[in-house]
Amino acid sequence: MPDPLKHRLDLWLRSERAMGLPAVPLVDMGYVDESADPSPPKQTPAAPPSRAAQFFAGGPATKQPTAAPPGPPAVTGARPNLYGNAEPPMAKPSANPLPLLDQPFTAPVLSRDEKIRALRELDDAQVKGCTKCRLHQTRTNTVFGEGDPDARIFFIGEGPGENEDLSGRPFVGRAGQLLDKMIAGMGFRRDQVFIANIVKCRPPQNRAPAADETDTCTPYLVRQLEVVRPEAIITLGLPSSQYMLQSKLSMSRLRGNWHQWRGIRLMPTFHPAYLLRAYTEDNRAKVWDDLKKVLEALGLPVPKRSGKQE
């Protein structure tokens, strides 16, 4: 912007403020290029895994599907996501539904029966028929999430993939099989934890959810967390970790450290789909360290890690 114009704009904004009017953001006036906003880089996918199923136990690995049928309204500014597919840039956090990061829930904890009823009602009355964002146009099923309503540990993924969209259940594809192994490695069955996603409908081509989609959808997740009231949240991957913490830090900065989300401890770790792509001993050890920290914090026994390659 030329200097004289900047000066006049400055005077104008000052006079507005002096009159008690809110300042007009430069973005609205077209003076700031929003596309220049630097979002943290996504994980760079590594070579396809060959021994993914050995994460904790063992078994052959097959390739994660990457192609999806055409469909959705295109979102511009695409960059590769966990699956190597296009995704829109992460927009700045807007008027999002996570305003009270540091304010614990105050509603009383429900009984198990009340939790079951509340979750069912949320799904039946609100999520299943939701048309609040563009993702409803291309979904087959909504994916509410599932697990023990009294779960002590709540996993949060990014969004349903193809298998989840078809089945209506979270983490049932290849990444889900690896998540099951992570859960088993912690000494739990899948139905003893709770598993949900940032968005309840599949983003087309498995792209990461756009900011307006997460902003629209996360009140459902917040309500699920308020009902289940877990002792620990484990966010899987960068989008869910960054979104829950309203952070722009990279995964290497976020994972392995405790964070707080509304009075609940939150541990970010790698997404199993990323792990499938970058299946190194180093990454597996990092994930196991993160999961171990959760067990220790909850006073739970730490099983011996199986499937470790020396």
Q: Applying CB under 6 A, which residues contact ligand URA? A: 157-161, 164, 170-171, 175-176, 197, 273
- Which lies closer to ligand URA via its Cβ, residue 144 or residue 288? 144
Smallest gap, in angstroms, from Cβ of residue 198 to ligand URA? 8
- Which lies closer to ligand URA via its Cβ, residue 117 or residue 192? 192
- Which lies closer to ligand URA via its Cβ, residue 122 or residue 143? 143
Quickly count: other Cβ atoms within 10 Å of residue 192's Cβ.
15
Helices assigned H by DSSP within the chain: 3-18, 112-122, 162-167, 174-185, 211-228, 238-245, 251-254, 272-277, 281-297
Smallest gap, in angstroms, from Cβ of residue 224 to ligand URA? 14
Query: Measured over all CA atoms, what is the biggest interatomic distance in the chain, rounded to whole angstroms?
Result: 69
Q: What is the dihedral of CA 122, 125, 126, 127, to 10 degrees?
A: 80
Smallest gap, in angstroms, from Cβ of residue 162 to ligand URA? 9
Amino acid (one-letter) located at 141: N
Please, are residues 255 and 268 in contact by the beta-carbon 8 Å criterion?
yes
d(CA 141, CA 107): 31
Smallest gap, in angstroms, from Cβ of residue 78 to ligand URA? 18
Helix (H, G, I), strand (E, B) or coil at 73: coil
Residue with tokens 């909504």: 142
Smallest gap, in angstroms, from Cβ of residue 157 to ligand URA? 3
Taking CB positions, which residue lies at the least distance from ligand URA? 157
- Which lies closer to ligand URA via its Cβ, residue 110 or residue 291? 291
- Which lies closer to ligand URA via its Cβ, residue 176 or residue 204? 176
